[in-house]
Structure 1
Amino acid sequence: MIQKFKKPVVFIPLILILFSGVLAFQVKNDKLFALAKNIDIFATLVRELDSYYVDEIDPDKLVTIGINAMLEELDPYTEYIPEEESDDFRMLTTGEYAGIGALIGNRGEGNMVLMPYTGFPAQTAGIRIADYILKVDSVDVVGKPTSAVSELLKGPANTPVVVKVKRDQDTLSFSLVRKKISLKNVPFYGKLDEKTGYIKLADFTTNASAEVRNALVNLKSQGADRIILDVRDNPGGLLNEAVEIVNLFIPKGKEVVKTLGKLQNVNYTYRTTKTPVDKDIPLVVLINERSASAAEIVAGALQDYDRAVLVGRKSFGKGLVQTTVPLTYNAQVKITTAKYYIPSGRCIQAIDYAQSRENGSITSVPDSLRKEFKTANGRRVLDGAGIEPDELVEEVTYAPISYTLVAGNHIFDFATQYFYKHKSISDPMRFTITDQDYEDFKKFLVGKEYDYTTYVEKSVQDLEKYAEKEDYYEEIKAQLEEIKAKVNHSKEGDLDTHKKEVMKILSEEIVSRYYFQEGMIEAGLDQDPAVDLAKTYLSDPSKITKVLSAAAK
Structure 2
Amino acid sequence: MKNKYTKIVASLLLLGTLFVGLLSFDRDSKNFKIAKNLDIYYSLFRELNLFYVDSISPEKIVKTSIDKMLETLDPYTVYIPEQDMDDFEFMTTGEYGGIGAVISKHDDHVVVAEPYEGFPAQKSGLKAGDEFLEIDGVDVRKHKTQDVSSLLKGNIGETLKIKVKRVGEKSPLTFKLTREKIHVDAVPYYGMLNEDVGYVRLKSFTLNCGDDVKRAILELKEKHHAKKLVFDLRSNPGGLLIEAVKIANLFVNKGEEIVSTKGKVTTWDKVYKAPVAPLDTVMPLVVLVNRGSASASEIVTGAIQDLDRGVVIGRRTFGKGLVQTTRDLSYNSKLKVTTAKYYIPSGRCIQALDYSHRNEDGSVGTIPDSLITEFSTRNGRKVYDGGGITPDLEIAPEYFSSLSIHLIRDFMVFDYATDFVSKHKTIAPVEDFEITDEMYNDFVSYVKSQDFTYESISEKLLEKVMEKAKKEKYYDLSKDDFTQLKEKLAPNLDKDLEAFRPEICDLLKGELIVRYYYQKGQIESALKDDIEIKKAKDILNDMDKYNSLLESGRVIKHED
Q: Does the TM-score normalized on the shorter chain lie above 0.5?
A: yes
Q: Cα offset for 1:400?
A: 1.7
Q: Cα offset for 1:270?
A: 1.0
Q: Cα offset for 1:389?
A: 0.3
Q: Which residue of 1 aligns with 2:530?
A: 528
Q: Cα offset for 1:136?
A: 1.2
1:551 alignment partner, SS class: coil
Pair 1:547–1:18, CA change in 2 (3 A): same
Pair 1:30–1:457, CA change in 2 (3 A): closer
Distance 1:318 1:460 in 2: 35
Distance 1:342 1:467 in 2: 49
Identity of aligned residues (%): 44
Measured against aligned partners, the alpha-carbon deviations of 1:19-77 in whole angstroms (never above 9, x if no partner) come to 21221122112212221222222222222332333333322222222211111110111
Deviates more, 1:237-246 or 1:22-31: 22-31
Q: Cα offset for 1:525?
A: 1.8
Q: Cα offset for 1:6?
A: 3.2
Q: Cα offset for 1:513?
A: 0.7
Q: Which residue of 2 aligns with 1:278?
A: 280
Q: Which residue of 2 aligns with 1:188?
A: 189
Q: Cα offset for 1:480?
A: 5.1
Where does 1:331-370 land on structure 2 (aligned, <5 Å)? Answer: 331-352=333-354, 366-370=368-372
Matched, 1:224 2:223: no
Where does 1:384-399 land on structure 2 (aligned, <5 Å)? Answer: 384-399=386-401
Pair 1:484–1:78, CA change in 2 (3 A): closer
Matched, 1:122 2:118: no
Where does 1:486-525 land on structure 2 (aligned, <5 Å)? Answer: 487-488=489-490, 492-525=494-527
Q: TM-score, normalised by structure 2?
A: 0.92
Q: Cα offset for 1:427?
A: 3.0
Q: Which residue of 1 aligns with 2:375?
A: 373
Q: Which residue of 1 aligns with 2:59?
A: 60
Q: Cα offset for 1:187?
A: 1.4
CA RMSD between the two structures: 2.4
8 Å Cα contact 2:204-2:238 kept in structure 1: yes
Q: Which residue of 2 aligns with 1:359?
A: none
Residue identity matched to 2:36: K
Distance 1:89 1:250 in 2: 31
Deviates more, 1:181-190 or 1:345-354: 345-354
Q: Which residue of 2 aligns with 1:152?
A: 151
Residue identity matched to 2:292: R
1:275 alignment partner, SS class: coil
Where does 1:140-539 land on structure 2 (aligned, <5 Å)? Answer: 140-170=139-169, 171-220=172-221, 221-352=223-354, 366-454=368-456, 457-458=459-460, 460-466=462-468, 468-469=470-471, 481=483, 484-485=486-487, 487-488=489-490, 492-539=494-541
Measured against aligned partners, the alpha-carbon deviations of 1:394-429 in whole angstroms (never above 9, x if no partner) come to 111122221122222111122222222322223334
Q: Cα offset for 1:521?
A: 2.0
Distance 1:489 1:176 in 2: 46
8 Å Cα contact 2:168-2:419 kept in structure 1: no
Distance 2:378 2:480 in 1: 65
Distance 2:465 2:17 in 1: 72
Where does 1:52-91 land on structure 2 (aligned, <5 Å)? Answer: 52-91=51-90
Q: Cα offset for 1:353?
A: 5.8
Pair 1:454–1:98, CA change in 2 (3 A): same
Distance 1:456 1:503 in 2: 23
Please list every run of 5 or more consecutive structure 1 residues that lacks an aligned counterpart in the other structure.
Answer: 357-361
Deviates more, 1:283-292 or 1:494-503: 494-503
Please list every run of 5 or more consecutive structure 2 residues that lacks an aligned counterpart in the other structure.
Answer: 359-363, 556-560
Q: How many residues matched?
A: 547
8 Å Cα contact 1:74-1:354 kept in structure 2: no
Pair 1:470–1:537, CA change in 2 (3 A): closer
Q: Cα offset for 1:482?
A: 5.4
Residue identity matched to 2:79: Y
Pair 1:164–1:375, CA change in 2 (3 A): same
1:329 alignment partner, SS class: coil
Measured against aligned partners, the alpha-carbon deviations of 1:189-208 in whole angstroms (never above 9, x if no partner) come to 12122222111111111121
Distance 1:187 1:543 in 2: 30
Matched, 1:37 2:36: yes
Residue identity matched to 2:50: S
Residue identity matched to 1:384: G
Distance 1:238 1:167 in 2: 39
Distance 1:201 1:65 in 2: 35
Q: Cα offset for 1:106?
A: 1.6
Measured against aligned partners, the alpha-carbon deviations of 1:166-210 in whole angstroms (never above 9, x if no partner) come to 222323222111001121211111212222211111111112112
Distance 2:435 2:129 in 1: 20
Deviates more, 1:3-12 or 1:189-198: 3-12
1:446 alignment partner, SS class: helix
Measured against aligned partners, the alpha-carbon deviations of 1:356-378 in whole angstroms (never above 9, x if no partner) come to 9xxxxx99764323222111111
